[in-house]
Structure 1
């Protein structure tokens, strides 16, 4: 009996197609993440909650547009729409953010991701971009419906339409700000655990449990404490940024002379959340 080895030709061939590189991987990861936020490509059960929230938000926008067409006045404008819907968006990101990152941690696919030409920064960018886009769509599409309702019922022709565009664009920018706040905080929390239930509970807790702190600070006898109370909660923080940028003191929060402090904290909150998220995945990639 011979001990010599035998080589069998089983038809393997070299890959000769295009090698797309990191950009294609990042784009694919972003597209997959965006689809996952709305349960696309998943079971019907995965679609119930995100599309249920989207349906409620769209219904509110339709009702708002209908009221304006009949009475000529809004129930709430583009800014107030975001503020009013932010409570629903909290529960949206509490379900969606763990789907984007906690699932990967639990299933152990991250070493496979990072064995390819994909850096930790690419992974973070794709996930943040997917959630920011999803939240912006959740708020921006209803705002578009409100715009169409206002534009088609305008009594001043194109002048009224352009006026409505001038209201919509800042409203969309405000939605982007909300989207970055929600995404940076929720993804950071979700990245800390592979258990989606724990991640969802942590996200809701951070947003909701800070609200009573604002209430306590706002009733203190100190005027300065009252003006700075909104800094204690992400939701009141963004409302404070709106009050500062629009020069309004009738929005349910008074920032006094500290508006710039609200702007700085909002920037730092988003930046810190993204940097901590990056540090988290750089640590995971190095394991």
Structure 2
């Protein structure tokens, strides 16, 4: 007795639509990460913290803009607001980085990502850019609010507006350095564990535990050690860089060691990116 097979046509058809490139996949990950940073498309609970931080940052900017409009000699620049919001940024990064990378590790979605023509470098780039954008917006938008307040209340016309623009652009550049460094550190730590609470605690610990080191080094009798004490913590590292490049009121006296702060800041960003890439290449190879 012979058996014969029967092929049934149940209506399946081949995909005939456009086939998107790796760039489209990177863009999709970037947009998803940026939306997740502010809780968009997620539950109301996920929106509370990021929008609370954003609201406080905007409130500080509005208060500063109001004071500057009434007291022209009030010396508080665009770069100074970054330093005042530094610890808020630390906690924002501690919540955001695990959201972007730790959840993927915990839910085992990375093998699904890498089963497509998506490389480890593409994943790192998309997540890194999403977080940099989110942190930069958190600092850059309040600076723009300050600019609007100063531009519309200036008494010197377009000359005053142009002066504010020249002050705003370096402020945005300073915010970008904050975003790059904090994103690198945050994502690197977040990528090491799938447990968001552990990742968040590790990120905060890095910033908290290095502050006492800076305090100890700043009390040494050596003048060079005092000036370079800020190199021991990411937070004071950026503030020292801002003091040297932008003249920010940071309380960190870098003296003639400003270039060393700049070199370490950019090297730290590069090292974090390289370690992130190595980490996800290892994951993709599993």
What residue in structure 1 maps to residue 280 of structure 2?
281
Q: Which residue of 2 aligns with 1:40?
A: 40
1:248-273 residue CA offsets vs partner (Å, 9 max, x unmatched): 7x631111221111111001100000
2:240 matched to 1:256? no
User: Does the residue aligned with 1:39 lie in a helix, a strand or coil?
Assistant: coil
Aligned to 1:60: 60
Partner of 1:176 in structure 2? 176
Judge conservation of contact 2:83–2:250 (CA < 8 Å) in 1. Answer: no
Superposed CA RMSD: 1.2
Structure-to-structure mapping, 1:16-165, within 5 angstroms: 16-74=16-74, 76-165=76-165
Following superposition, the deviation at residue 246 of structure 1 comes to 3.7
Query: Residues 145-191 of structure 1: CA distance to partner in whole angstroms, max 9, x if unpaired?
Result: 00000000000000100000000000000000000011000000000
Match of 1:219 in 2: 219
Map of 2:8 onto structure 1: 8
Q: Is the 8 A contact 2:128 2:187 kept in 1?
A: yes
- Note the alpha carbon deviations across 1:38-76, whole angstroms, 9 max, x for none: 000000000000001000010000000011111124462
**C-alpha separation between the residues in 2 aligned to 1:247 and 1:39?**
35
C-alpha deviations, 1:79-125, integer Å up to 9, x for none?
11001101001000101110000000000010000010100000000
Once residues 49 and 58 of structure 1 are traced to their aligned partners in structure 2, the CA distance between those partners, rounded to angstroms, is 14
Instruction: Check the 8 A contact 2:240/2:258 in 1, yes or no.
Output: yes
Moved over 2 A (4+): 73-76
Aligned mates of 1:53, 1:208 — CA distance in 2: 19
Aligned-partner Cα distance in 2 for 1:74–1:197: 41
Contact 1:101 1:187 in 2 (8 A): yes
Partners of 1:65 and 1:74 within 8 A in 2: no
1:165-204, aligned counterparts within 5 Å? 165-204=165-204
- Matched with 2:270 is 271
Q: Which runs of 5+ in 1 are unaligned?
A: none
Quick check: 1:240–1:253 contact (8 Å CA) kept in 2? yes
8 A contact 2:170–2:246 mirrored in 1? no
1:77 deviates by 1.3
Give unmatched runs, 5+ long, in structure 2.
none
Shift in alpha-carbon separation, 1:29–1:153, aligned structure 2, 3 A:
same
Q: Distance in 2 between matches of 1:21 and 1:154?
A: 49
Contact 2:98–2:200 (Cα < 8 Å) also in 1:
yes
Q: 1: CA distance between counterparts of 2:19 and 2:95?
A: 35
Q: 2:239 is matched with which residue?
A: 239
CA distance in 1, matches of 2:193, 2:172: 32
Taking structure 2 as the reference length, what is the TM-score of the superposition? 0.98
Structure 1 residue 222: deviation in Å? 0.9
Q: In the aligned structure 1, how far is the partner of 2:178 from the partner of 2:165?
A: 20
